[in-house]
Amino acid sequence: MQKVITTNPYDDDHLHEECAVFGIYGHSEAAALVALGLHALQHRGQEAAGIVTHDGAQFHAHRGIGLVGDIFADRTVIARLKGNVAIGHTRYSTTGEPMLRNVQPLFAELEIGGLAIAHNGNLTNARTVRKELVSNGCIFQSTTDTEIIIHIMATTRGTVVDRLIAALRQVEGAYSLAVMGQDYLIGVRDPYGVRPLVLGQLGDAYIFASETCAFDIIGATYVRDVEPGELIVVDAEGIHSHRPFPVTKSRFCIFEHIYFSKPDSIVDGTSVYEARKRIGIELAREHPVDADVTVPVPDSGVPSAIGFAAESGMSYDLGIIRNHYVGRTFIEPSDEIRHLGVKLKHNANRAVIQGKRVVLVDDSIVRGTTSRKIVEMVRNAGAREVHMRISSPPTTHSCFYGVDTPERDQLLAANHDVEEMRRIIGADSLAFISIDGLYRAMGLSGRNAADPQYCDACFTGDYPLRLTDRLGGNGARQLSLLAESA
Ligand code: AMP
């Protein structure tokens, strides 16, 4: 049979989405508040952003490629986005070219009226369901996994809530969604609660956001987390909570605490900053170093380096200075540019480093590019010894639930033991926090292998949600077998 040629990046077998959502109901400045909220959530996705509003008569939308501040810089854009209800999205994707048609919120006209949807997470059966929908005649406008939700909603019956629940019962994977129509706003989290979603209030207006830092920027108050498996509808009558899914134990993503969330946010009921500091303390207990100074790899290594230095009784100094006008190193797609990105982003501070035995603290080693460059840079700046401490266990597995990680063949820890990794990055010593140490830092006694509290698949290969697209119907089990044999 002839191969069907498409512009669909699903064809390359990758799904990469890392995102933030924000929605507000009941405020006359809805679009401006969404833009501010998205700006505070910019760390979750820097590729593209969009806002959809409804003004009582019609919908308005604006989407663009780039940073929130640039896309919405023109005041006339926000002025045009009229209405008291609005949702927004920032997107991070690493496959193919950023395409405007993939920029969320997605919008569709259904039998029940117009509907916009913004999604953080990854659906793990999107390709399988999409194939089915396409063979039944659905015409997709984008290549994002999120669009399958809209198509299922379009072809089921009932109210918007009935249809959304019907759609979400058919999808697998991680999702925190903000959904809006002309007179409602909905926030919903998957039953495992893999990605965060919080509910806030500003006067009489209700807000959903990926993280609480988006409330702080607009002076809104945090009300509570949207619970795993909970669907909250906000409309003229107030807020109504639904629990349409069978109860399961939640598995919040532990990497949100390690790296992804912003340190000034409270996620999953815990201050991200405090959690990172406690991880640094555990790391120092597990892997002490006889050295002169603790230096964070900015920015993500900073809180854990503070904890590490305090626990070690060692001085803490800024031996690496970060240029704030460069995005995260991961964002650039090619290896070549990623190397360049690291050099553009960090510079060694000779005044702190020269002649010293330095402990560098970073949050993770993925491909090893950053660590290798940083160790070399610190040595070139005159360090006598360079020790590396990592505030996560080795990243041995890819994430399929919404954090961008490369395939296993590119993960340093999937292919080398710690001693080999040490040699590759050129450090005098290298150590990672243990998985039990990480759980201890989160206030638990260790990882309960039979029933872990978090999704830690990137460190353990224990994937809690089925990976249908990758491995067929029994994906989760097959993958854990793979992990065992690895
Ligand atoms: P690498 O250079 O490939 O080893 O990547 C490690 C660096 O990337 C660390 O300094 C992290 O702060 C950062 N990092 C880790 N995971 C991610 C991610 N999913 N997206 C963007 N940056 C990341």
Q: Domain limits of the chain? A: 12-250, 267-485
Please name the residue ranges forming H helices in 171-208: none
Backbone angles phi and psi of 18, in degrees to 5: -135, 125
CA distance 90 to 82: 20
Q: If you search the block for the tokens 């503070």, which residue do you land on?
A: 306
Please count the residues of the chain: 486
Tell me the β-bridge partners of 198: 209, 225
Count of CB atoms within 10 A of residue 275's CB?
A: 26
Q: Is 328 in the pocket of ligand 1 (CB under 6 A)?
A: yes
Q: Best mutation site among 260, 272, 330 for ligand 1, i.e. most ligand atoms within 8 A of its Cβ?
A: 330
The rounded Å distance from CA 405 to ligand 1 centre is: 8
Residue 301 is given by DSSP the state T
Q: Which amino acid is at 130?
A: R
CATH topology of domain 267-485: Rossmann fold (3.40.50)
With a cut of 80, say whether residue 16 has pLDDT above it: no
Of residues 379 and 486, more confidently modeled: 379
Is residue 19 annotated as part of the catalytic site, yes or no?
yes
Residues near 324 by beta carbon (within 8 Å), at least 6 away in sequence: none
pLDDT for residue 481:
39
Q: Is 300 in the pocket of ligand 1 (CB under 6 A)?
A: yes
Detail the DSSP E strand segments found in 151-277: 176-181, 184-189, 198-202, 205-209, 221-225, 231-235, 238-242, 252-253, 266-267, 270-271
Q: If you search the block for the tokens 């080693």, which residue do you land on?
A: 365
pLDDT classification of 470: cutoffs 50, 70, 90: confident
Q: If you search the block for the tokens 């702080």, which residue do you land on?
A: 216
With a cut of 80, say whether residue 19 has pLDDT above it: yes
pLDDT for residue 478:
44
The rounded Å distance from CA 296 to ligand 1 centre is: 14
pLDDT for residue 483:
40
Mean pLDDT of 307-320: 98
Mean pLDDT of 105-132: 95
pLDDT for residue 18:
77
Rounded to 10°, the helix 126-135/147-155 angle is: 40
> For ligand 1, atom 9, which residue shows the shortest CA distance?
364
Q: Is 378 in the pocket of ligand 1 (CB under 6 A)?
A: no
Q: Is 330 in the pocket of ligand 1 (CB under 6 A)?
A: yes
The reported pTM is: 0.91
pLDDT for residue 2:
47
Segment among 11-20, 128-137, 210-219, 277-286 with least mean pLDDT: 11-20
pLDDT for residue 406:
87
First-to-last alpha carbon distance for the chain, in angstroms, is 36
Residues near 468 by beta carbon (within 8 Å), at least 6 away in sequence: 124, 125, 128, 172, 475
The rounded Å distance from CA 122 to ligand 1 centre is: 19
> For ligand 1, atom 5, which residue shows the shortest CA distance?
366
CATH topology of domain 12-250: Glutamine Phosphoribosylpyrophosphate, subunit 1, domain 1 (3.60.20)
Residues 377, 354 contacting (CB under 8 angstroms): no
Q: Is 43 in the pocket of ligand 1 (CB under 6 A)?
A: no
Q: Is 367 in the pocket of ligand 1 (CB under 6 A)?
A: yes
